[in-house]
Amino acid sequence: MNPDGDRTTRAAPKVRLQGVSKSFETGVGKGARRFEAVKGISFDVHDGEFLALVGPSGCGKSTLINLIAGLDKPDAGQVFFEGKPVTGAGPDRLVIFQDHGLFPWLTVQKNVEFGLRILGLEKHERKERAMRYLQMVHLTKFRRSYPFQLSGGMKQRATLARALAVEPQVILMDEPFAALDPRTRDILQVELQELWLQTKKTIVFVTHSVEEALRLSDRIIVLASQPGRVRKITPVPFPHPRDFLDPAVAEMRAAILKEFEEELNILVQKEGDDDWHLKEGSISARAPRGVDLSLGDGI
């Protein structure tokens, strides 16, 4: 068995990143400079796999999601989907954003039908499919509500139903639960896991939280930041649901956390040297917990 798990030997990877680099302009006018979001990243995502990308802010997690989705084009390297180069966005690789992006002028059901309308499905077919997936995320009762009437957790569930309804090959989740309170987050993690075990979709899941990654995923990629690179790939061989009290799980958690913390420290030093928008003193106050450092999640 190779370190990626046994699936690689059987099928071609669902998604393959090959030496992918991407940089952005930051700032405006004369103050503008190039910022390398990701540099030379290569990894595969296997069919039916739940892959977690973990790393501090500014390590290019969101950039990777956008590149796989085809919302952005890499400066160098290539992204492959089912062996073909990615040229644009499409409903086979669906993104779930942190700020849900439900359309406020549509009811929950109409939101779920949005993608189906684009696919050109008949009305009754749309309704039938929407209901099926709303049921899957336990939102049938709220199908006629508008997004502002939903709680944060329900909004994310609606987004999930909207994504699942078009039956994508890959679901790309960009910190989907980051804005939720811990309790809701817990519930949604369990639900997502059940959905995944049911549908066996390929999922790429970006998160700040090592625990979340360890709980849900088959493999965890820890990213190094500025520029974003692959630091370490760890397969998670434990069966679901995972027990954090199990010594083996706990050990893995400690090991990944250590990688993560080291990465954070490097980042903090770099930020200090660079004199990014942080004021003196606030670095040490903010850094150890791994909260957002300057560059934010848009990158």
How many helices (H) and strands (E) would you count in the chain?
9, 10
Q: CA 291, CA 275: separation in Å to the nearest integer?
A: 18
Part in contact with other proteins (CB under 8 A); list of ranges 19-27, 97-105, 137-145, 251-259: 97-105
- # of chain residues touching other proteins (CB under 8 A): 23
**Nearest to other proteins of 71, 255 (CB atom):** 71
Other beta carbons less than 10 A from residue 146's beta carbon: 16
Task: Decide if residue 89 touches other proteins (CB under 8 A).
Answer: yes
Of 62 and 189, CB closest to other proteins: 62
Give the number of residues written for the chain: 299
24 or 238: CB nearest other proteins? 24
- What letters, b where the CB count within 10 A reaches 16 and e where it falls short, cover 224-254? bbbbbbbbeebebeeeeebeeeeeebeebbe
Site string for other proteins, 32-71 (x = CB under 8 A): -------------------------------------x-x
CA-CA-CA-CA torsion sign (177, 18, 46, 133): positive
Looking at the Cβ atoms of 82 and 211, the one nearer to other proteins is 82
Task: State yes or no: residue 293 binds other proteins (CB under 8 A).
Answer: no
**Site membership for other proteins, residue 103 (CB under 8 A):** yes
Distance from the Cα of residue 160 to its chain's centroid: 13
Q: Which residues 6+ apart lie within 8 Å of 132 measured at CB?
A: 165
Stretch that binds other proteins, among 10-18, 48-56, 110-118, 282-290 (CB under 8 A): 110-118
Chain residues in the site for other proteins (CB under 8 A):
69, 71, 89-91, 93-95, 97, 99, 101, 103-105, 114-115, 117-119, 146-148, 166
